[in-house]
Structure 1
Amino acid sequence: MTTGGALARLIRSTAARAAAGDAEVCELCAAPVAEEHPHLHDAEEERVRCVCGPCSVLFDRGGAGEGRYRLVPRRRVRLPAVGTDVLGVPVGLVFFVPRADGTVTAEGPSPAGAMRWEVDAAAWRRLAETCPPLAGVEPEVEALLVNTVHGADHHWIVPVDDCYRMVAVIRRHWRGLSGGGAVWPAVEQFFAGLTERS
């Protein structure tokens, strides 16, 4: 298991800006961005970049940026319970990211960041046969986000930046060894705030 470098960089940069009181800016043109703004996946640096609306339009086609940058989609789809136990990941709060090379990673948030495992790609394909929407998850930029902790039943296809926001919630609220009393209500509030959109 390793800590995801791209996720750690995103969380550190967001936390540093928040601590300094700096407004977020587009990482391409430096224009101010709204609190909710588009993101680009930077394949070369394996990170997510904040962008403004006008810059995001430049990357809404598949061939833009010579393949280095991909616009993170905005769709969210709530799924019925998905039998993710067949993927062999022993945690109840996890997100699965298909990769461009056909591999699939599972990332479970922790107070130190995201812990990453490689999932058996054949098991992912078998799961997608039982839940067809999973076959349409866009590599690198979308994920299956699952929360079954404390009896929760959340299964979502989300933009990968939603997963990073969820990890940031955990890091912000986690206290001590077990997480404390604030972290799980904050996670539930995060999932309650997800809404389907196409």
Structure 2
Amino acid sequence: MTTDGALARLIRSSADRTATAGAETCDLCAAPVPDEHAHLYDTGHEEVRCVCGPCSVLFAETGAGDGHYRLVPRRRIRLPEVDTAALGVPVGLVFFVPRADGTVTAEGPSPAGAMRWEVDAAAWRRLAGTCPPLATMEPEVEALLVNTVHGLDHHWIVPVDDCYRMIAVVRREWRGLSGGGRVWPAVERFFEDLTERS
């Protein structure tokens, strides 16, 4: 499944929580999970799965689950401005995910879900050379999240599930051709929340 599959899953789980508080369950053992819970990244289907505390411990070590599931880390690091222009992505709200095979993808929100581009891997390596924290990112499960829309200057290393939540915010709040009056304040609130959670 693609990023859109993961996005649809997060939107459904958010709607399910609203309809039935506390009804979300672990995707491995079906135990109830709290609102704040761990996630696994399913490398085969490219989607995020909810996981309870005991099940998350099973995937804490590198290589657990034969690499099929990767525990999504919880670190959030605000970076100084990162010059992403050399990566050739023409949007101001985007996240970059290094992949285990050395490729890098850029994904940005749209009213229809995520747009995805392949980024020049050599350009990414040069950028990581100028910003050492980028070289510490865990492939598949961490992303560089950038928001330069409306003069903002946000550059973060975040868990990939934060990026899917950001896409869900844009998709939920977007109205008309230009986004309407609700989407950008909602995106700003999303980044304020990142600051509080870091």
TM-score normalised to the size of structure 2?
0.93
CA displacement 1:138-194 (0-9 Å, x = unmatched): 100000000000001000000000000111111111111111101100100000111
Q: Residue 35 of structure 2 aligns to a residue in which SS?
A: coil
For the 8 Å contact 1:41–1:70, the answer to whether it is kept is yes
Counterpart of 2:122 in 1: which secondary structure? helix
Shift of 1:113: 0.6
Per the alignment, residue 133 of structure 1 pairs with 133
Unaligned runs of at least 5 residues, structure 1: none
CA distance in 2, matches of 1:64, 1:37: 19
The residue number in structure 1 matching 2:66 is 66
CA, structure 1 residues 12+169, in 2 after alignment: closer, same or farther (shift >3 Å)? closer
In 1, Cα distance between equivalents of 2:62 and 2:183: 38
Assess if the C-alpha contact under 8 Å between 1:77 and 1:196 holds in 2.
Answer: no
Q: Is the 8 A contact 1:78 1:196 kept in 2?
A: no
Q: Deviations over 1:83-107 (max 9, x none)?
A: 0011000000000000011000000
Separation in structure 2 between the aligned mates of residue 193 and residue 8 of structure 1, nearest angstrom: 19
Give, in whole Å, the separation in 2 of the partners of 1:125 and 1:143: 14
Distance 2:10 2:58 in 1: 25
- Equivalent position of 1:108 in the other structure: 108
State the AA in 1 paired with 2:56: S
- The CA deviation at 1:18 is 4.4
Letter in 2 for 1:149: V
Alignment of 1:1-198 (within 5 A): 4-14=3-13, 17-18=16-17, 20-21=19-20, 23-195=23-195
Looking at structure 2, the residues matched to 61 and 128 of structure 1 have their Cα atoms a distance apart, in angstroms, of 25
CA contact (8 A) 2:11 2:168 kept: no
TM-score normalised to structure 1 length: 0.93
Cα distance in 2 for residues equivalent to 1:38 and 1:9 = 18
> Aligned-pair RMSD on alpha carbons?
1.7
User: What is the Cα deviation at residue 11 of structure 1?
Assistant: 3.6
Unaligned runs of 5+ in 2: none
Aligned length: 196
Offset, 1:36:
1.3
Give the Cα–Cα distance (whole angstroms) in 2 for the partners of residues 111 and 18 of structure 1.
22
Tell me how far apart the structure 1 counterparts of residues 188 and 4 of structure 2 sit (CA, whole Å): 26
Identity of aligned residues (%): 76
